Structure 1
Amino acid sequence: MMSRRDVLVAGGVAALACTSARARSAIEADVVVIGAGLSGLHAAAMLEAAGAKTIVIEGADRVGGRAHTLDDLPGHPDAGGIQVGSFYTRLITVAQRLGVALQPGGEFDRSALYVVRGQTVAQGDWPTSAANRLVGPERAIPPMALAPALGRRMGHLPDTAAWMTAAGQKLDIPYGTALKAAGASDEAIRLIAANLGSGDINAVSALNAARSAAIFQSAGPDASLRVITGGSQRLPEAMAAALRSDLRLGQLVTGISEGADQVRIDLASGRAIAARHVICTIPFAALRPLGLSGASAEAMKPVIAGLPYTHASFAYLSASAPFWNQDGLPRTIWSDDPLIGRVFVLGDDPAMLKVWLSGPDADAIDRLTPADAGAAIIARLETARPSAQGKLRLERMFSWQRDPLARGVFHHLGAGQWPLLTRAVTATGQRLHFAGDHLAQLASGLEGALESGERAAKTVIEKL
């Protein structure tokens, strides 16, 4: 007969075995890719081509991530992933292979109508305007051009990889401090901060601007921009359609646990998926609330917790007529007004505008109902540009930070974060690997997403 102690020991062993069985789920695939944006889909295609059994899971009910086209709005405007640079070699190659067309577009207007300190000023009148409180030679620089003009005085990076070297570390100081050291006036710094996307310009690293400039300059003097015909989401849709692997939408991840020989993914549905390797492309801002365990996650914990993401909210407005073609003023508006921010013409037929609000301005507009937000924005636009009166209607308010799968439109480097991000973009996981545009080494945006996904896929293929 078993003693009470024997019974307790036997029960404990059985419980431990059950717990171990739950923790070690049956492996369903060689690799699970979390996220069906460009990074995840590109990685999945490479893994599939290498013969790896691959499953792609996506929390949303669509593919694309932040390459998102609002197909229910007039003109099918993009909410993210808009510009395709002529140096986006990976993207151009993938698009050509899949038959996804690119067309000219995405260029910003060189001239703008300025609404500064409540005054509307044409660009030609800016140098002598009472709204212009810049100092000395700065007065000749339009507000939209201040950041690149003054940035050239801060120091530059010789190439796109230099940000990861000592040259980049030297530039990793508060952006406002760097501008001040370069001779910028307080008013210049205020205007640059107005549409920067961060509540505090000194919370952003000067390296962030220098890296963007180096990427732009790498394109050379003949650089041009294009857009994806039909909207940015057409590319990830084509990438997903070309996959033979299992693609599962609506799979919200709640936790990721890395073990010695597998990675387990817990889902909101209560199910779990296990694979030999996992590539996680969730933006860090959206990844933070999830339960992560294992050596690879532990190594990335500081950058996951600390990398900031820019908040951005958009108002999509339809117009009864393209008044911007009739009043003799520039099409684009640039403003320090928290209800206007930047205004872009999306097209003349249908006549559509996009109002882009960033940082604290985006957070403030998010606190209003869509109807109240649209009414406030339209009223302010009608005051700034009288030809708009009675012609605008709100079609949609859109907020990236309210999307739990994004929590921001894109990442930026916080002041003092050079050590964190340089370690992260060169890190190699054991069985859990991270990818996404936030971990690109040489590119940014759509191309950066592809670059990072490609690097993660190559790492996993070598380990399989």
Structure 2
Amino acid sequence: MVSLPSSVDVAIVGAGAAGLGAANALKDSGLSLIVLEARERVGGRAHTIQAAPDVVFDLGCGWLHSADKNSFVPIAAHLGFAVDKTLPPWRERAYGKAFPQKERDEYMRALEAFYDRVEQAARSGRDTPASRCLEPGNRWNPMIDAISTYVNGSELDQVSILDLDAYVDTNINWRVRRGYGALIAAYGAPCPLALSCNVTLIDYSGQDIRIGTSRGTLTARKVIVTVPTNLIADQAIRFSPALPAKVDAAAALPLGLADKVTLALEEPEALPKEGNLRGATMRTEMGTYHLRPFGQPCIEGFFGGRFARALEDKGDGAIAAYAIDEIVSFLGNDIRRKLKPLKESRWAHDPFARGSYSHALPGHAGKRAMLATPVDGRLFFAGEATSPHFFSTAHGARDSGERAAKEVLAAVRDS
């Protein structure tokens, strides 16, 4: 960790994928720069931990979505991180009797028909809640809504149809064996970082921009802001002069919630590697479970939306307790003694995230471009919420940081 300089050419606020993307893009520019990060670590909403001696766990992002277009894939190769191309468990590897294949087939047809209706509705150009594309009375609607809580972090009634349709998904999903968060941390290792440095003020009223932090004040010619939308909407960072349009745009792009838990599994050989476990539930309040990821002796659980928030609000350990109860309901009471909570995420209660990833509220799909627009040729904005097609992903965040860096270089040339 470097000491806080008194002045730099470019200050980057946030050391998540976006901030690190910007820093790496500027490292050979000849401009002095610093990345200001409130946490004691880099990565933001990407965080790999050693949950147990034989369990590596990504508390945050874990999948290289749209891997054939994902900019972290070549970065992983360059940094020596092995990429696992095993097919994801959510379609191909159903396990157990809780969700028979016939019902899975019916559900998949209903889900695909829903996305077809979203695509058709988006052609009208009218931005309405995605829930309007659910077929009235379809038995699978609650489960389709549950999938939205994993994909969008929110139920469909809070998701813009135009925004949902704008997302690019090539359906190629790979993983990083050592952890996505570990890859992003390695990507950020060469960057000049000021950790435990919480930015609270960005005053651009003078010739130089004054930045107030928990470690003191510094000035910069340009600032790239990469913090999550909820922090901008809550005005955790104060801008002077105020930026009401940015605050409004951020509020229209709130972070939904997707939480994860990992459970140690005794006698792992009794369950298949890379299996998928969930029930044919007629409710949105459900978990889905990844059996033995990478063959590890554990089960990962996933929860989203209002249900994840309710579990978080019950306190630490509530997600794990629910996951164990639900797994027992699928596999029988004998498995309860074989499961032990290891670690769970609580992203809504993380003060520097306040959620997981962004979705556009109905009627506000255009706010991503508004949030990304520079201010006064000196303030620049990046982050997954500013990505037009890869929002909610780490690579979308990284690419947006690179885009903001290019905007900074263009502004320097023109000044």
Interval containing the TM-score (normalised by the shorter chain): 0.7 to 0.9
Structure 1 residues 95-125: Cα deviation after superposition (integer angstroms, max 9, x where no partner):
333333323246233256599xxxx633324
Pair 1:279 & 2:224 matched: yes
2-structure distance, mates of 1:184, 1:201:
14
Tell me what 1:365 maps to.
Answer: 311
User: 1:190 — aligned with what?
Assistant: 142
Amino acid at match of 1:224: I
Alignment correspondent of 1:92: 73
Greater gyration radius: 1
Q: How does 1:112-131 map to 2 (within 5 A)?
A: 121-126=98-103
Aligned equivalent of 2:350, options 395, 398, 403: 403
| Aligned-partner Cα distance in 1 for 2:265–2:140 | 33
Corresponding residue to 1:342 among 275, 282, 288: 288
User: Partners of 1:376 and 1:436 in 2: how far apart?
Assistant: 32
Partner of 2:263, secondary structure, is: strand
What are the superposed Cα offsets for residues 418-455 of structure 1, whole Å, 9 maximum, x if unpaired? 23233334555531111011101233412211221011
1:75 aligns with 2:20: no
Displacement over 6 Å in runs of 4+: none
Shift of 1:89: 4.8
Q: Give the Cα separation in 1 of the matches to 2:301 and 2:159.
A: 23
Q: Please report how far the alpha carbon of residue 332 of structure 1 lies from its aligned counterpart in structure 2 after TM superposition.
A: 2.5
**Cα offsets for 1:370-413 (capped at 9, x unmatched):** 34553343133212221634211111222111111111111111
Across the aligned residues of Structure 1 and Structure 2, the Cα RMSD in angstroms comes to 3.0
Shift of 1:156: 5.1
What's the counterpart of residue 248 of structure 1?
Answer: 194
Inter-partner Cα distance in structure 2 for 1:200 and 1:141: 21
TM superposition score normalised by structure 1: 0.77
Instruction: State the shift of 1:323 in Å.
Output: 6.2
> Secondary structure at the residue paired with 2:276?
coil
Match for 2:84 among 103, 116, 124?
103
Q: Which of the residues 281, 285, 305 maps onto 2:251?
A: 305
Q: Deviations over 1:324-349 (max 9, x none)?
A: 637x9963325456774111124375
Find the residue that maps to 2:55 and give its secondary structure: coil
Q: From the superposition, tell whether residues 86 and 191 of structure 1 become closer, same or farther in structure 2 (CA, over 3 Å).
A: closer
Q: Give the direction of change, closer, same or farther, for the CA distance of 1:368–1:418 in structure 2 (3 Å limit).
A: closer
The one of 379, 384, 388 equivalent to 2:335 is: 388
Aligned to 2:166, the other structure's residue is in SS state: helix
CA deviation profile, 1:21-62 (whole Å, cap 9, x unmatched): xxxxx9610001111112111211222211110011111111
Q: Provide the residue aligned with 2:166 in structure 1.
A: 211
Q: What displacement does 1:296 show?
A: 8.1
How many pairs does the alignment contain? Answer: 399
Give the gaps of 5 or more residues in structure 2. none
CA contact (8 A) 1:341 1:356 kept: yes
Q: What does residue 353 of structure 1 align with? A: 299
2:280 matches 1:332: no
Q: Tell me, in whole angstroms, the C-alpha distance in 1 between the residues paired with 2:8 and 2:27.
A: 11
Q: Distance in 1 between matches of 2:183 and 2:120?
A: 33
Report if the CA contact (8 A) 1:154-1:178 is conserved: yes
Q: State the secondary structure of the residue aligned to 1:76.
A: strand
Q: What is the deviation of 1:203?
A: 2.0
Cα deviation, residue 456, structure 1: 0.4
TM-score normalised per structure 2: 0.85
**C-alpha contact (below 8 Å) 2:224/2:382 kept by paired residues:** yes
Q: Name structure 1 gaps, 5 residues minimum.
A: 1-25, 128-139, 158-166
Taking only the aligned residue pairs, the percentage that are identical comes to 25
Q: Which residue pairs with 1:238 in the alignment? A: 186
- Say which SS state the counterpart of residue 45 (structure 1) adopts: helix
CA 1:383/1:455 → structure 2, altered by over 3 Å: closer, same or farther?
same
Q: Distance in 1 between matches of 2:70 and 2:155?
A: 35
